[in-house]
A and B are shown apart, each in its own frame.
Chain A
Amino acid sequence: MRRLMGSIIEADKLSKLYPPKTKAVDGVSFNVEEGEVFGFLGPNGAGKTTTIKMLTTLASITSGTAKVAGFDVKHESARVRESIGVVPQELTADDELKGVENLMLLGKLHHVPQSEMKEKARELLRLFDLEEASERRVRTYSGGMRRRLQMAMGLVHSPKILFMDEPTLGLDIQTRTKVWEYIKKLNVSGLSVFMTTHYLEEADSLCRRVAIIDHGVIKVLDTPARLKERLGGNVLILEVSNGVDLSEFLRTIPTVSDVSRDGHMYKIKLPKTEDAIPAIVDGITSRGLKITQISFLKPTLDEVFLEVTGRTMREEEGEAQESWVQNVNIGRSSS
């Protein structure tokens, strides 16, 4: 991640009322640092898109203020528009135009000089693996290709900050992983990113900080690591072949915060890091004991989300996600 400088977004008690009484966003305040990837998470209807619309000058602000790239969203909207790239939740490329024509049009509307624009379009088409499809009408694109084109369209004018509303919605795992790579690459080269997503592991792997919003209110805002830490951190569960009490030994390991024993089973809390696992395993085997089962429970943002919103993303999405128990069964013997 790039070194951070000032705030690229400053939102202060931002609110949006859709008449007569839908409080879509209800007084949210946050800062996004320059060079940061900031994640906005929340269930359907939480107010994510509405927040993006206000910050990108597309929706009026009912109350509160916001600054983007140092410009007031309400009073200096033209300056804000020069600084931002937007990748909306829906796909808005023109079906009847070719991929490259969509890019060139967006470039023109952002007043990128024609000569620069050609080079930029080529670069973006390469970055998003759309070179071969660039001369085809968007009508013939697959959903994944459209998403990638949409991201390219948000970047034609080299914005300071990119707003992305669920950029990986509906993409398969491979494409999603690729999009993450793009985002990381762009961020390394200095782009700040404000993104919403439904995929919590996505937020976990991409975002320096995340905010969880529900019913228009920010419930928590922190780094993914600290949010997970608040839930008590990682737990290592061991089953050992012999009944000798290992608690004393386990407590001597510095990063272990707590050990509880139930017969042959040990529950070891490792709140900050899992680095101690090899030392634990070595210590046990060097005592001539066998580990018959080992599992490592690592809280994910799913648990954080559940605690904060009272809902799981699974309920939200109606789709099964992998369990938060990463079962590392190393079999009956460890020797």
Chain B
Amino acid sequence: MLTSGGRQADLLGDLSALTRRALLKWIRNPAAVLPGFFTALFYIALFGNSFNPTGIVPSNINGFQLTSSELEEVKTAILSQTFGGAATYISYLTAGIICLILVFNMAFGGIDLVLDRQLGFLNTILAAPISRASIYFSGVIQNMVKAMALGFITFAVAILLPNGLMLGKGFGVVDFVGAFGALALLAFALSCVFTALALSVKSIDSLVAIVNFATFPLVFTSTALFPAADFPSWLKAISNFNPITKACNAARLLMINGMLSSSQQISFGWDLAYLAAFAVAMGVVGYLAANKALAPR
């Protein structure tokens, strides 16, 4: 329903008013922003060190002692063969952690929308002559902006950490835009799904239940934390279709390599196309679901 009465409803005006309100609330509440920074730090530092696969290479195998230079070689080989040539495990991990943060923030970002319904704010705006689409898209955008901000923070933290993210040679502005473009497509698609979900449920409890049920399989069937090479074949198949895999593979390719070879460019292009198609599909599905959820009951 894009028209409001005789005149064209001001979709962009409504959208910006609603989005502005949500982001104003967010910025004004440091309790909501600050933990994001620490979450990013913990994820990177904790996963980066405790999961670090190169840290578990033994220097002594059945009495055979590796010299420290041999040990370094083994570690480098692991990184280059299994982890796409990343200089450090954190270099591999960063894109995955950003995806993880996107997923969880997107999923729980819906709580604000459920609160809007519970506190009656939603009814107040529903009684106004605004297009229902602006309510849905403002939900999508506010969630996306909040989560992407944390994504940028995570990226910065990873770079600043000692032995952290070592960007590939020649990584420039275009690569940055490319990497975060892929992540933003994922963020948009997930935001559409979770916004529609949040507009449809009546209570925070049911939102949290569904989110918990949905997010873990989504994350752990992806290559966010580990490459697919060692996955069993069924998992590999699932992982291949998982948009999180596509987004973190695309972002990771750029972060690790900087300049892409032509075959890498093709692989990046396919991932991006997949993500764009997924984003459009989720946008439409979410829109239809949200329209239903916002109709008078």
Contact = CB atoms under 8 A, between A and B. Distances in A.
Tell which of B9, B28, B120, B125 has the most Cβ of chain A within 10 Å: B120
Contacts of B17: 105, 108-109
A86 interface: yes
Contacts of B127: 56-58, 81, 84, 86
A96 interface: yes
B56 interface: no
Contacts of B29: 96
A246 interface: no
Contacts of B63: none
Interface string B45-61: 00000000000000000
A76 B129 CA distance: 11
Instruction: Give the interface size bracket for B toward A.
Output: 20 to 34
Interface in B11-28: 13-14, 17-18, 21, 24-25, 28
Contacts of B24: 96-97, 101
A193 to B, nearest CB: 16
Nearest to A56: B127
B263 interface: no
B124 A106 contact: yes
A111 B13 contact: yes
B128 A106 contact: yes
Contacts of B130: 109
A328 to B, nearest CB: 45
A323 to B, nearest CB: 36
Interface string B198-215: 000000000000000000
Nearest to B17: A108
A194 to B, nearest CB: 13
A88 interface: yes
Interface string B82-103: 0000000000000000000000
A91 B10 CA distance: 27
Interface string B244-282: 000000000000000000000000000000000000000
B116 to A, nearest CB: 9
A91 B9 CA distance: 27
A86 B120 CA distance: 12
Contact of B126 (A58, A76, A90, A97): A58
23 contacts: A58-B127, A59-B296, A59-B297, A60-B295, A78-B1, A81-B4, A82-B5, A84-B127, A88-B120, A88-B123, A92-B123, A94-B121, A96-B24, A96-B28, A101-B21, A101-B24, A105-B17, A105-B21, A106-B124, A108-B14, A109-B14, A111-B4, A153-B124
Given A97-B25, A105-B21, A106-B124, 9 more contacts: A57-B296, A81-B129, A82-B4, A86-B123, A105-B17, A108-B14, A109-B128, A111-B129, A153-B124
